[in-house]
Structure 1
Amino acid sequence: MSYSKAYYSRMVKAILALDYAQVDFCTGLIEAAWKADKQIFTMGNGGSGSTASHFVCDWNKGVSYTREHRIRAICLNDNVPTLMAYANDVSYASIFEEPLKNFMRPGDLVIGISSSGNSPNVLNAIRWANENGGITLGLVGYDGGQLKPLAQNVLHVAVNDVQLVEDLHLSFGHVTMQRLSGMPAECYVEPGER
């Protein structure tokens, strides 16, 4: 078997092992925040940070474009000078919690993404959001780490492979975007049919 086929075979197994009811529940949390005009915050480190930013790009543009009622999503990773200021002057563990103190209001949705579930800066922000009226969602892999029991809601990709965890976390953003933009669930188009 080729290396790429082996990788994608493992990905298919990971996809089939997902709890689809939980995926739907978590996409529903984003939809509920949007309909209630609540702010949505995303955050993560490394690949999870780029996933957090990708979510916001897709949701702010892909769901909201041409609509009167728009999603209000912010990725806490995207203001690099602010991150660096907190990391330098306070601690790297505070880079997400401190901006939340400026912007989060009770009922807002805070999404922390951590493949290991053990990123201190994500844990601190989720803990603060829990204590201050936020609704929290953790996206985790492996055994879920500390984030799994800390977040009020969890999407767990129970795979011990960081790249597969990141692949499935990213796909959650795409599932959410298609659901919220009104795309039918059965919309597959064969190549050449467009």
Structure 2
Amino acid sequence: MRKEKLIQHSADYQKKLNDLFDQIDFDVLEQITSTIIDVYKNEKTIYVAGNGGSAATASHYKVDFGFFVRYFKKKRIKVVSLTDHSPLMTAIGNDNSYDEVFTQQMQDYFSKGDVLIAISASGNSMNVVKAAEYANELGGTSIGLVGFEGGKLKDACKICLFTPNPKGDYGPIEDLHMIICHMLVSYLRQDEEFMSLYE
């Protein structure tokens, strides 16, 4: 009985993922890809931020984007995960506000032409929203990956990949954000413009 239920549940979950995948706006995904290539060409930096499961995804973006070009002879994509320094994050959260855990870090390093990838299932995490707004203020490009109803992050970002899904259903949208990471990295390996930068 349990096996049959697991089979049905797996099929239902797969359908949720397929439905989300079908909602991907590939015009927006092309914008994101072009922005990442420009960051590399201009020797700027990508910053990544998120909370909870999205924090883990942000760290994964850092690994995949920063390390897959390890064979490039001259330079790598510079990627900083704003979620990885727990002592600093807890200090900022304790002494200032949790809403500032990303912007306080960005003050030290973020500059014009840099990019922030802000990941949030709900789009309403204020520390991520503030980070996107701050990136825009400094002349950077804010990229949002959001689900649910989009939240405030959808409007705060210059570029936003919004894939709506039922509020509170975190798993599928977090899965999709990870899939997008893997899709982008695997695509860049065959993009003629990007690979022409390989020396």
How many Å apart are 1:180 and its aligned residue? 2.0
- Residue in structure 2 matched with residue 138 of structure 1 by the alignment: 144
Q: 1:67 is aligned with what amino acid?
A: F
| Mapping for residues 85-164 of structure 1, pairs under 5 Å | 85-160=91-166, 161-164=169-172
Question: Which piece of structure 1 moves more, 97-106 or 163-172?
Answer: 163-172
For the structure 1 residues 183 and 5, does the alpha-carbon distance in structure 2 shift closer, same or farther, using more than 3 Å as the test? farther
Q: Percent identity?
A: 34
CA distance, structure 1, for counterparts of residue 31 and residue 136 of structure 2: 19
CA distance, structure 2, for counterparts of residue 3 and residue 170 of structure 1: 21
How many Å apart are 1:21 and its aligned residue? 2.2
User: Does residue 27 of the first structure (1) align with residue 33 of the second (2)?
Assistant: yes
How many Å apart are 1:183 and its aligned residue? 7.2
CA distance, structure 1, for counterparts of residue 134 and residue 160 of structure 2: 17
Give deviations 1:132-179, integer Å, cap 9, x for gaps.
111111111011100111111101111123211111111111111112
User: Does residue 84 of the first structure (1) align with residue 90 of the second (2)?
Assistant: yes
When the two structures are aligned, how many residues end up with a matched partner? 183
Bigger fraction of residues in helix: 2
CA distance, structure 1, for counterparts of residue 48 and residue 90 of structure 2: 17
User: Does residue 39 of the first structure (1) align with residue 45 of the second (2)?
Assistant: yes
Structure 2 residue runs without a partner (length 5+): 1-6, 193-199
CA distance, structure 1, for counterparts of residue 42 and residue 186 of structure 2: 19
Instruction: Please give the secondary structure, in 2, of the residue aligned with 1:27.
Output: helix
Question: Which piece of structure 1 moves more, 157-166 or 94-103?
Answer: 157-166
Instruction: Please give the secondary structure, in 1, of the residue aligned with 2:79.
Output: strand
Structure 1 residue runs without a partner (length 5+): 185-194
TM-score normalised by length of structure 1: 0.90
CA distance, structure 1, for counterparts of residue 178 and residue 16 of structure 2: 16
2:187 to 165, 179, 186: 179
Give deviations 1:60-86, integer Å, cap 9, x for gaps.
112x11102210001000111110110
TM-score normalised by length of structure 2: 0.88
CA distance, structure 2, for counterparts of residue 129 and residue 105 of structure 1: 8
| Mapping for residues 1-12 of structure 1, pairs under 5 Å | 2-12=8-18
Asked if 1 retains the 8 angstrom alpha-carbon contact of 2:28 and 2:159, the reply is no
- Residue in structure 2 matched with residue 189 of structure 1 by the alignment: none
Asked if 1 retains the 8 angstrom alpha-carbon contact of 2:117 and 2:142, the reply is yes
CA distance, structure 1, for counterparts of residue 58 and residue 16 of structure 2: 24
